[in-house]
């Protein structure tokens, strides 16, 4: 394996964060990076500004917003290195991140994907040390500081930064364009798991994240796409007898989350209206059910390519289960 990584950045109104991200990648030690930036129909000219400062990167400009899933897929069409990374524009990489990622892949030939230790840039608190799963397929980023420095197995990587062997996409396909926004990485990691492909978290590979720059934390938009896409994922991967149970499980999950305390305001200072949240959830459930026939075709395709069965999804949930006490608002 050569010391080369293809890194693809999805940019949407990234402002100054995009240049900070590119700059941190340029400062990576002992690794050569081919950098691809997809501008997802931004209105702030951030990609053009970055192009003036860093003209040696590969820039792609979309006339329409492809969503995160579509943006990742377009980047992958242009990435050829053995190791590829997909990330948000609101990250900054530790200067040894690249060599740590390559070191982990070289030492673990059975690993298909690596997650990084994601640290909140402002608070310096660990935000993600791996992704785990609740019984309705809701993902949780563990925010425990790892007690060990070696890699350990997790369900998946936090979607803000994901490192893969390039041949993974030849084996199981790319991201689901229909998801548009949110949960696309969770669905993809379900495909990895049912195809017996391994993901680890490497605590020594550190990135720093400015959270919810392109979307508003606790916003109805975020809630709608997350819940709609979670239902599609549950339908594709769970046993059919179990799928209806995800609805009361989700109601219970939201109840626990509300008991822990919903914020009074979203990330832009707007008041969070509980009734509006309920209406958004009902809309997400209704729209998701309308499209189940389309998801049925995808479900058949997924399970035709593996010797596992939908019942094995429950075993995977048990392996990477999220304790009820860990439920929180994302």
Stretch among 20-34, 52-66, 137-151 having the lowest mean pLDDT: 137-151
Percentage of the chain modeled with pLDDT above 90: 74
CA dihedral over 295, 297, 303, 305, signed as positive or negative: negative
Stretch among 40-54, 126-140, 296-310 having the lowest mean pLDDT: 126-140
Res 267: pLDDT: 46
Res 260: pLDDT: 61
Backbone angles phi, psi at 78, to 5 degrees: -110, 0
Is residue 329 pLDDT above 50, yes or no? no
Is residue 56 pLDDT above 70, yes or no? yes
Q: What angle do CA 128, 183, 194 make, to 5 degrees?
A: 90
Is residue 179 pLDDT above 70, yes or no? yes
**CB of 199 within 8 A of CB of 154?**
yes
**CB of 187 within 8 A of CB of 131?**
no
Is residue 138 pLDDT above 70, yes or no? yes
Segment holding 260, helix H or strand E: helix 246-261
CA distance 54 to 47: 10
- DSSP state string for 93-134: E-TTHHHHHHHHHHH-TTEEEEEEEEEETTT--EEES-EEE-
Region 298-304: mean pLDDT is 97
**Token pair in block for residue 122:** 């402002």
pLDDT band at 198 (very low <50, low <70, confident <90, very high): very high
- Give tens-digit pLDDT for 217-239: 557 888 899 999 999 999 999 99
**How do beta strands 83-88 and 139-141 pair?**
unpaired
Burial class for 248, CB neighbours closer than 10 Å (0-12, 13-18, 19+) = exposed
CB 216: neighbour CB atoms within 10 A?
Answer: 15
Q: What angle do CA 239, 242, 243 make, to 5 degrees?
A: 90
Is residue 36 pLDDT above 70, yes or no? yes
pTM (global) more than 0.85 = yes
- Give tens-digit pLDDT for 82-97: 999 999 999 999 999 9
Name the DSSP class of 177: G
CA distance 78 to 62: 14
Average pLDDT, the chain: 89
Closest to 178 (Cα-Cα) out of 83, 255, 67: 67
């Amino acid at each position: 394996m050569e010391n080369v990584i293809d890194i693809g950045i999805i940019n949407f109104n990234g402002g100054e964060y995009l240049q900070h991200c590119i700059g941190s990648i340029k400062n990576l030690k002992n690794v050569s990076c081919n950098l691809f930036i997809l501008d997802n129909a931004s209105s702030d000219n951030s990609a053009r500004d970055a192009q003036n400062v860093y003209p040696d990167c590969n820039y792609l400009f979309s006339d329409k917003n492809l969503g995160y899933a579509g943006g990742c897929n377009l980047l992958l069409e242009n990435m050829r290195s053995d190791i590829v990374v997909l990330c948000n524009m609101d990250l900054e990489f530790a200067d040894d991140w690249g060599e740590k990622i390559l070191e982990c892949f070289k030492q673990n030939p059975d690993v298909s994907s690596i997650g990084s230790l994601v640290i909140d840039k402002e608070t310096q608190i660990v935000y993600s040390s791996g992704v785990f799963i609740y019984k309705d397929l809701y993902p949780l980023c563990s925010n425990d500081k790892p007690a060990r420095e070696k890699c350990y197995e997790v369900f998946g990587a936090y979607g803000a930064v994901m490192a893969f062997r390039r041949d993974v996409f030849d084996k199981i396909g790319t991201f689901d364009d229909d998801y548009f926004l949110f949960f696309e990485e969770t669905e993809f990691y379900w495909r990895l798991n049912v195809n017996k492909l391994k993901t680890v978290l490497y605590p020594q590979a550190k990135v720093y994240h400015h959270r919810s720059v392109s979307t508003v934390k606790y916003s109805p938009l975020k809630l709608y796409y997350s819940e709609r896409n979670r239902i599609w994922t549950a339908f594709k991967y769970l046993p059919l007898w179990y799928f209806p149970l995800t609805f009361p499980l989700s109601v219970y999950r939201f109840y626990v989350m509300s008991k822990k305390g919903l914020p009074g305001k979203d990330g832009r200072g707007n008041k969070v209206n509980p009734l509006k949240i309920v209406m958004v959830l009902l809309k997400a459930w209704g729209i998701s059910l309308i499209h189940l026939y389309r998801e049925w075709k995808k479900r058949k395709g997924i399970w035709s390519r593996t010797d596992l069965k939908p019942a094995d999804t429950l075993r995977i949930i048990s392996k990477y289960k999220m304790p009820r006490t860990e439920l929180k608002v994302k």
